[in-house]
Amino acid sequence: MPKPYAVINEEIKDALKGKAGEERAREIKRLLKAIHWDVGDYKRIKDKLRRELAEIETMEQAKKASRSRTKTKKTTPQFCIIGSTNSGKSTLINNLTGTTIPVESYPFTTIEPQYGAMEYDNISFQFVEIPAIYDGCWNGDKSTLGMIYFTDCVMILGRSHEDFELVLKELAGQNIELIGERMSDGFIQTTPRKIPAFLVFDKTDPNLPPSHLKKIPSDNLEEIKQNMIKIIKPVRLYTMNSFNEIQEQPVVFFKDQITVKEVIQKVYKGKEEIFKDAVILEGGPNGRRKRVGITYELSDKDVIHLTFHK
């Protein structure tokens, strides 16, 4: 006798709870074998499981390809610069970083991923420019798709309405959802994948497709940089030493809620047990002074002076 539809749904929910990646894929395969009926509601359940399995397998394949192709270690926010052929990707990354990636007028000048780095407003950024996107570009080769899946943010370049439509269609076809800024808990991997993104367009053809994403002209480098800060939403915390000197380089986090305890764990690992108290200057050196405990939540540009029991 077949199990009721609602019972199977609950069993699936329990079986998949807390599982991700290859572990989740193995469990989905087991569940598909366990459901012997392939009609009506049971077929709809199995079709939903098959779709999720296909998404996970695509992500895992892309992840393996990304590991084999990525040449730099990502320790800072990474922006993947993507676009169709001759969309201005190399020119933009050169202008932002001062690198000299070849720029030519013929298609597919960039045939291998190109990398660059930039520092702005006390944040270090890494860029990776991938080869041009074209119709069906990921049907056989998932290597560049892997770089998009596992980047932190995406910058989409185009010189025409058609350029943007092509790239947005290809991304949507891979179940990649573009969002306006990072999520509250940071640059986490999600299924389907959600990636912060914005559009950079050529002012000679401002006819852009409808999109909820921010749109910035390619010649306004300052606005592009400011939007990069806005999209990653950094929490920059400046520590103060025992001589009341504020350190020039901040401790940087990329999630919304940061406590004093997390700063201790990052800067003074193992000293949580001997923490005494902290003095905070809200928003910078001239901010309001507060004495706080280990669970206090900090804000961007706060100055923090930690003291410990001897």
Is the predicted pLDDT of residue 103 greater than 70, yes or no? no
Beta-carbon count within 10 A of 230 CB: 14
Q: Which residue has the higher pLDDT, 209 or 252?
A: 252
44-64 pLDDT, tens digit per residue, is 888 888 877 876 776 565 555
Nearest to 62 by CA among 135, 170, 165, 151: 151
178-190 pLDDT, tens digit per residue, is 999 999 999 888 8
Select from 3.10.20.30, 1.10.150.120, 3.40.50.880, 3.90.1150.10 the CATH code of 235-308: 3.10.20.30
Ranked by mean pLDDT, the top range of 48-57, 199-208, 298-307 is 298-307
pLDDT > 70 in the chain, percent: 86
Is the predicted pLDDT of residue 111 greater than 60, yes or no? no
Q: Terminus-to-terminus CA distance in the chain, angstroms?
A: 69
Beta-carbon count within 10 A of 188 CB: 10
Structure tokens at 212: 């909820």
pLDDT score of 12: 87
Q: What is the mean pLDDT of the chain?
A: 84
- Could you check whether 70-232 and 235-308 share the same CATH topology? no
Q: Which residue has the higher pLDDT, 8 or 109?
A: 8
Rounded mean pLDDT of 290-304? 96
Q: Which residue has the higher pLDDT, 86 or 255?
A: 255
pLDDT score of 59: 57
pLDDT score of 72: 38
Structurally, at CATH architecture level, domain 70-232 sits in 3-Layer(aba) Sandwich (3.40)
Is the predicted pLDDT of residue 126 greater than 70, yes or no? yes
Is the predicted pLDDT of residue 81 greater than 70, yes or no? yes
pLDDT score of 73: 39
Q: Which residue has the higher pLDDT, 67 or 267?
A: 267
pLDDT-derived band at 75 (thresholds 50, 70, 90) equals low
Is the predicted pLDDT of residue 297 greater than 60, yes or no? yes
Nearest to 237 by CA among 223, 221, 253: 253
Is the predicted pLDDT of residue 79 greater than 80, yes or no? yes
- The whole model's pTM is what? 0.72
pLDDT score of 107: 43
Domain ranges of the chain: 5-68, 70-232, 235-308
